[in-house]
Structure 1
Amino acid sequence: MVSFKQLALLALATGLATVDAQSSTGKTTRYWDCCKGSCGWSGKASVNQPIQSCDKQDNPLANMAAKNGCENGGQAYMCTNQSPWAVNDKLAYGYAAVKLAGGNEGSWCCACYELAFTSGPVNGKKMVVQATNTGGDLGQNHFDLAMPGGGVGLFNACTNQWGAPPQGWGQQYGGISSRADCDSFPEKLKAGCHWRFDWFANADNPDVSFKEVTCPKAITDKSKCIRNGQTPTH
């Protein structure tokens, strides 16, 4: 019989140390609104620093209190490096707006979750996401996956930052409909847009089972946010 200690060592060896061994079921949607994430403000959670935000030209901002680009006169936007990417054929990394049953921003901001897709063309694949935002319109155990061209949803800073159409690229909810639509995107957003149609196989809101894991260093190196007491895995 494999001991709990052996399982923990195996998780560390694979770079996905489990924080909470219990899995829950959840749902996913997709978005990219270019706004500063709600986990980008100080005091939301016990972390080393808030999620990194960027200015209109996608340069990292030192001022964590900068006003959200979704508001008039705002200077802070979602950094383009918070786009998703493939680690291999079965695993991807990325970021998400999150809302979990029984929790609040203090419990999920900058935490990472391993999502195991259980439906659609990505069934059997996994994705590790870091919570960078909270969706006011999300249901419980809901992950709104950040991917360029995924639809702006409630808010839209993409028009101000990148000159996107008034309702964002494609439909307000759901975004663009084909890989070719990515070709007109800003260069820094193209790879994340292509990811949706390549690794993600244009899956339409697949279901997931999920559990909290220690964040991979590749994710926190981009977001700059680490929950206190955690050491990112390599």
Structure 2
Amino acid sequence: MTLGDNVDVVAPKKWMDGWDKIYSQLLQKTDDELARVDVGHRVQQLEHALAITETNTIGLKVLELGSGEGNVACYLAKLGCKIVAVDALASAIAVAQRKTKILGLFEQIEFRLDDMDGWPIPANNYDIVIAIQSLQYLFDRTIPRLREAMDAVQPGGFFVYSGNILPHFETDPPIRFISEEEIRREFKDWTLHAFGTEEILRKPDDLRGYVWLIARKPMIHK
């Protein structure tokens, strides 16, 4: 794989080039720097949900859509999970693979250079599906792909979602925000372990809204 292998996606090339630059810069970091595994509150809330439901994390099958530099995949691999991590940028996959090798987690994570969309996700195939700040870049396919990803979760499994909502700066083309109301409607039959919205001032004059969710799919009772 070379860093020129990026997969064509619906997001504008200038956006992908910007993210590609960030990951290419990460490749210049030392092993000690890349060995850090920083995850946000969403993954910590997932870990809490797994704990209070007494879910054994060893061998759990995880699908992550938009895996970036691999922090989430590595964190869950440390808990014993088996992860399929998908990203469309070769530079992101390269960073994640290097991080995984440094941490000795390579056998637990399968990295896939691919679009988040355009291929079938087997139904009821994963214990956890994660889509953090990713599905909104599928535009008119955002909600359909969300539903396909939800279908991929086994009964009793978990879905982790995070995405932007208003307020947010204008983009061209417009990002497909999944609103708080839409998220609640899509997951109305699931158990919500964490749900919330927030606004963060990323820099002066750049206030961004977020919505997130950790939800458990209903069990099948015979």
Superposition TM-score, scaled by structure 1 size = 0.24
Which protein has the bigger helix share? Answer: 2
